[in-house]
Structure 1
Protein backbone atom coordinates (compact mmCIF):
# COMPACT_ATOMS: atom_id res chain seq x y z
CA UNK A 1 0.00 0.00 0.00
CA UNK A 2 1.22 3.46 -0.72
CA UNK A 3 2.32 5.72 2.12
CA UNK A 4 -0.45 8.22 1.44
CA UNK A 5 -3.04 5.50 1.91
CA UNK A 6 -1.86 4.15 5.28
CA UNK A 7 -3.44 6.81 7.50
CA UNK A 8 -6.65 7.56 5.65
CA UNK A 9 -9.00 9.63 7.74
CA UNK A 10 -11.27 10.85 5.00
CA UNK A 11 -12.02 9.10 1.73
CA UNK A 12 -11.71 11.77 -0.92
CA UNK A 13 -12.23 10.98 -4.60
CA UNK A 14 -8.46 11.19 -5.08
CA UNK A 15 -7.78 8.59 -2.37
CA UNK A 16 -10.54 6.32 -3.64
CA UNK A 17 -9.17 6.40 -7.15
CA UNK A 18 -5.62 5.79 -5.87
CA UNK A 19 -6.81 2.65 -4.08
CA UNK A 20 -8.55 1.39 -7.20
CA UNK A 21 -5.41 2.02 -9.27
CA UNK A 22 -3.33 0.07 -6.72
CA UNK A 23 -5.73 -2.86 -7.02
CA UNK A 24 -5.73 -2.75 -10.82
CA UNK A 25 -1.93 -2.53 -10.99
CA UNK A 26 -1.58 -5.48 -8.64
CA UNK A 27 0.10 -3.51 -5.85
CA UNK A 28 -2.58 -4.78 -3.46
CA UNK A 29 -5.47 -7.16 -3.68
CA UNK A 30 -9.15 -6.45 -3.29
CA UNK A 31 -9.18 -8.54 -0.10
CA UNK A 32 -6.11 -6.83 1.39
CA UNK A 33 -7.56 -3.39 0.71
CA UNK A 34 -10.87 -4.38 2.25
CA UNK A 35 -9.18 -5.65 5.43
CA UNK A 36 -6.57 -2.90 5.70
CA UNK A 37 -9.01 -0.04 5.39
CA UNK A 38 -11.97 -1.81 7.01
CA UNK A 39 -14.07 -1.32 3.90
CA UNK A 40 -16.94 -3.48 2.75
CA UNK A 41 -16.41 -4.95 -0.72
CA UNK A 42 -19.36 -2.90 -1.97
CA UNK A 43 -17.60 0.30 -0.83
CA UNK A 44 -14.56 -0.55 -2.91
CA UNK A 45 -16.65 -1.56 -5.91
CA UNK A 46 -18.51 1.73 -5.79
Structure 2
Protein backbone atom coordinates (compact mmCIF):
# COMPACT_ATOMS: atom_id res chain seq x y z
CA UNK A 1 0.00 0.00 0.00
CA UNK A 2 2.89 2.35 0.67
CA UNK A 3 3.95 1.99 -2.96
CA UNK A 4 0.48 3.06 -4.12
CA UNK A 5 0.57 5.98 -1.71
CA UNK A 6 3.98 7.04 -3.04
CA UNK A 7 5.66 6.56 0.34
CA UNK A 8 8.17 4.02 -0.97
CA UNK A 9 9.33 2.35 -4.17
CA UNK A 10 9.15 -1.20 -5.46
CA UNK A 11 12.94 -1.42 -5.19
CA UNK A 12 12.88 -0.44 -1.50
CA UNK A 13 10.15 -2.96 -0.71
CA UNK A 14 12.01 -5.67 -2.63
CA UNK A 15 15.16 -5.04 -0.59
CA UNK A 16 13.22 -4.93 2.67
CA UNK A 17 11.51 -8.29 2.10
CA UNK A 18 14.28 -10.00 0.09
CA UNK A 19 12.18 -10.18 -3.08
CA UNK A 20 12.85 -9.18 -6.66
CA UNK A 21 11.59 -5.93 -8.09
CA UNK A 22 9.81 -7.90 -10.81
CA UNK A 23 7.87 -9.86 -8.15
CA UNK A 24 6.73 -6.63 -6.52
CA UNK A 25 5.86 -5.05 -9.87
CA UNK A 26 3.86 -8.17 -10.82
CA UNK A 27 1.85 -7.88 -7.62
CA UNK A 28 1.29 -4.18 -8.25
CA UNK A 29 0.03 -4.88 -11.78
CA UNK A 30 -2.26 -7.64 -10.50
CA UNK A 31 -3.65 -5.39 -7.76
CA UNK A 32 -4.33 -2.60 -10.26
CA UNK A 33 -6.17 -4.98 -12.60
CA UNK A 34 -8.23 -6.29 -9.71
CA UNK A 35 -9.13 -2.78 -8.61
CA UNK A 36 -10.11 -1.78 -12.14
CA UNK A 37 -12.28 -4.87 -12.50
CA UNK A 38 -13.86 -4.17 -9.13
CA UNK A 39 -14.92 -0.72 -10.25
CA UNK A 40 -16.28 -2.04 -13.55
CA UNK A 41 -18.33 -4.89 -12.11
CA UNK A 42 -21.58 -4.48 -10.32
CA UNK A 43 -22.14 -6.54 -7.14
CA UNK A 44 -24.96 -8.47 -8.85
CA UNK A 45 -22.65 -9.42 -11.72
CA UNK A 46 -20.02 -10.65 -9.29
CA UNK A 47 -22.58 -12.69 -7.35
CA UNK A 48 -23.84 -14.31 -10.55
CA UNK A 49 -20.28 -15.09 -11.58
CA UNK A 50 -19.49 -16.78 -8.25
CA UNK A 51 -22.78 -18.70 -8.27
CA UNK A 52 -22.03 -19.96 -11.78
CA UNK A 53 -18.52 -21.02 -10.78
CA UNK A 54 -19.93 -22.75 -7.70
CA UNK A 55 -22.46 -24.67 -9.81
CA UNK A 56 -19.74 -25.76 -12.24
CA UNK A 57 -17.49 -26.84 -9.37
CA UNK A 58 -20.27 -28.85 -7.75
CA UNK A 59 -21.03 -30.53 -11.09
CA UNK A 60 -17.37 -31.39 -11.60
CA UNK A 61 -17.16 -32.77 -8.05
CA UNK A 62 -20.26 -34.90 -8.63
CA UNK A 63 -18.82 -36.28 -11.85
CA UNK A 64 -15.54 -37.05 -10.10
CA UNK A 65 -17.39 -38.94 -7.35
CA UNK A 66 -19.25 -40.98 -9.95
CA UNK A 67 -16.00 -41.88 -11.68
CA UNK A 68 -14.41 -42.97 -8.43
Fold equivalence (TM over 0.5)? no
* TM bracket, shorter-chain basis: 0.3 to 0.5
Structure 1-normalised TM-score?
A: 0.45
Q: Which has the higher contact order (CA 8 A, sep 6+)?
A: 1
Larger radius of gyration: 2
Higher helix share: 2
